[in-house]
Amino acid sequence: MANLHFHYGTMGCSKSALLVINAYNQSKNGNKTEIIKPKIDNRFSENKVNSRIGISADATVLSSLKNWKPAPDTKMVLIDEIQFFTPKDVDTLVRIADSTPVIIMCYGLMVDSNEHIFPASRRLIEVGAKLHRMESTCQILGCMRLATHHLRYDSTGKVIREGAQIAVGDSNYKSVCRQHFNMLYHSTEKGGR
């Protein structure tokens, strides 16, 4: 088994749920796990990984992975919202994966709502993490195509086309297929809500 993995997909494709389930199964098998989440992710709670389907697990909250090391008896590290960490944090994970038997499972988004890849996600690809695409369908009513993009909306329902790459929260986002992204993102009309 590879020691460094990246489970990626759009919002709502059950990344956090899979992380919690994976941690539970490893614990049930007697394998010590550590769960980490970035400090910036405080949507549902400060110190838990929460899935929208209602399951959660305690997590260590860190601003950076620079000085972090897994405990000596840890078998697996599960990291939620990896896109909020930095490329240097990913390099720390690479060193751990390459010098210890610890398996590192990262979960997160590949691209932001402006179709730009997150730097930490890019770094995971560059360093050869094993990629696992998690799939879900477009959230535009009636569409059954694969969700590959995110649209971010302001409080009036208009698509936001520029600004900060990181905006924590999900009430103003929709996961959409490429076709709906191109139609709504590049349109001057509100649409999609």
CATH of the domain at 30: 3.40.50.300
pLDDT of 11 over the 50 cut: yes
pLDDT of residue 139: 93
| Residue 157 domain-assigned (yes or no) | no
User: Domain range spanning residue 101?
Assistant: 4-133
pTM of the model: 0.88
**Whether residue 81 lies in the annotated active site:** yes
Q: How many domains does the chain have?
A: 1
Banded model confidence at residue 85, pLDDT cuts 50, 70, 90: very high
| Residue 190 domain-assigned (yes or no) | no
pLDDT of residue 51: 86
pLDDT in tens, 169-190: 555 888 999 999 999 988 755 4
| Residue 142 domain-assigned (yes or no) | no
Strands 48-50 and 56-58: antiparallel
How far is 138 from 144, CA to CA, in rounded Å? Answer: 6
Instruction: Determine phi and psi for 70, rounding to 5 degrees.
Output: -70, 155
| Residue 153 domain-assigned (yes or no) | no
Higher pLDDT pick, 83 / 187: 83
User: 153 is written with which tokens?
Assistant: 């909306």
| Residue 161 domain-assigned (yes or no) | no
What mean pLDDT value characterizes the chain?
Answer: 89
| Residue 139 domain-assigned (yes or no) | no
| Residue 165 domain-assigned (yes or no) | no
Contact, 155 vs 161, CB < 8 A? no
Burial class (CB in 10 A: 0-12, 13-18, 19+), 137: middle
pLDDT > 90 in the chain, percent:
67
Of 81, 126, 162, 189, catalytic: 81
| Residue 163 domain-assigned (yes or no) | no
